[in-house]
Amino acid sequence: MRKNIYSNENSQYKIIAVDDESGILDSLKVFLNKAGYNFVGITDPMEAIERVKQEHFDLMLLDFIMTPIHGDQVVEEIRKFNKDLYILLLTGHKDLAPPLETIRRLDIQGYCEKSDKFDQLLLLVESGIKAISQMNLIRKINNELKDTYEKLEKAYLESIETLRFTVEAKDTYTRGHSDRVSEYSVLIGQKLNLPSEDINTLKIGGLFHDIGKIGVPDSILLKNAKLTDDEYSEIKNHPTIGAHILSNATIFQNVLPVVKHHHERFDGNGYPGKLKGLEIPFLARIAAVADAFDAMTSRRTYRDSLSLDIVKAEIEKCKGSQFDPNCADAFLDILNNDYEKIEEIRKKYNPES
């Protein structure tokens, strides 16, 4: 009856049995094939390890006492490259089973005494297959959820990119500015030997650091004359606006400090938080140097771009007041010794300088 009910369903599962007694493997083959499972029997435990490396199996029936290595050693090797294989240990006698601590450590799902009757073993196999089926279903659901989440994140990212391009379309100065700040920030991060996670945060943070300018009126953003105090106050809102725009997506959580605090000053006279020194998020301190450099080396409606010597002198002068000294020194090192990297970035984004 069990065969008729389950054989079609069971045929999708592959079972490998490892026992140095070929007679036991022959019996298992007959019994498990009758139950509808795909079965492979191997007498050499070393060969079995290689087979599991090369081929997918759902469940392993493993003899404990074998030569040249015992079953627990087989599991030890398999767990180095396969954490998912469901393993049932077979013992000639329960007193010969490995300690419970070993079974737990190696994540052996169960063990069974050998017997001429396979009913108990079949129940354990069926229980294992049900567990495997549930885990496969959970993995499938998680993958589908991950795929859906990634699509939502991608759609949100594309929406924010559209906002960024809208900002850049308003203002000739802004065009290419965010890309350059992103790449300059990455150069500084690499110079400081930051981990890849921080480098990626600098890259994304630089790209979107000025996204909040979407909330600044065009009459202020595009004004050629000197801004009034009230107008400058409006401009100073853009970091907070940008952080608010990005705050609803998990993908941007790490970059929020860069977006919100890239206009803070090391002496505490920046905005929006008037943070001082080490209170300012470290990556925001890096972006602040990159942002200021690009502002000074870009042509504006009211002035030409500044020469490299003047810019370097300004960065040097503002160490400890506007800029974190370590971040400023790292960028000055790049300007003095690797300036070709800066030129490549400027050429890539074709700034009007």
pLDDT at 235: 87
Q: Identify which of 211, 201, 212 has the alpha carbon closest to the alpha carbon of residue 283.
A: 201
Q: Which two tokens stand for residue 95?
A: 């007193």
The CATH number linked to 194 is: 1.10.3210.10
| Catalytic pick among 114, 146, 213, 317 | 213
Examine the domain organization and report whether 45 and 91 are in the same domain: yes
Amino acid sitting at position 118: F
Give the chain's length.
Answer: 353
Instruction: Identify the domain containing residue 132 by its residue range.
Output: 2-141
| Tens-digit pLDDT string for the chain (353 aa) | 444 444 567 888 999 999 988 999 999 999 899 888 999 999 999 999 999 999 999 999 999 888 899 888 999 999 999 988 999 988 876 666 677 777 888 888 887 877 767 888 888 898 889 888 888 887 888 788 777 777 777 777 777 777 777 777 666 666 688 999 999 999 999 999 999 999 999 999 999 899 888 888 877 777 777 788 888 888 899 999 989 888 877 778 899 999 999 999 999 999 999 999 999 999 999 999 999 999 999 877 667 788 999 999 999 999 999 999 999 999 999 999 999 999 999 988 864 54
pLDDT at 119: 81
Examine the domain organization and report whether 292 and 235 are in the same domain: yes
Examine the domain organization and report whether 183 and 310 are in the same domain: yes
Examine the domain organization and report whether 330 and 219 are in the same domain: yes
Q: How far apart are alpha carbons 88 and 103 in whole angstroms? A: 10
Examine the domain organization and report whether 107 and 175 are in the same domain: no
Q: How far apart are alpha carbons 262 and 288 in whole angstroms? A: 5
- Whole-prediction pTM value? 0.59
Examine the domain organization and report whether 109 and 197 are in the same domain: no
Q: Which two tokens stand for residue 213?
A: 């300018």
223 is catalytic: no
Q: Identify which of 61, 5, 19, 16 has the alpha carbon closest to the alpha carbon of residue 38.
A: 16
Beta-bridge mates of residue 91: 113
Examine the domain organization and report whether 181 and 133 are in the same domain: no
Examine the domain organization and report whether 180 and 281 are in the same domain: yes
CA distances to 6, 31, 72, 102, 105 from 108, rounded to whole Å, are 25, 23, 9, 8, 8
- Give SS3 for 16: strand
Residues 6+ apart with CB under 8 A from 158: none
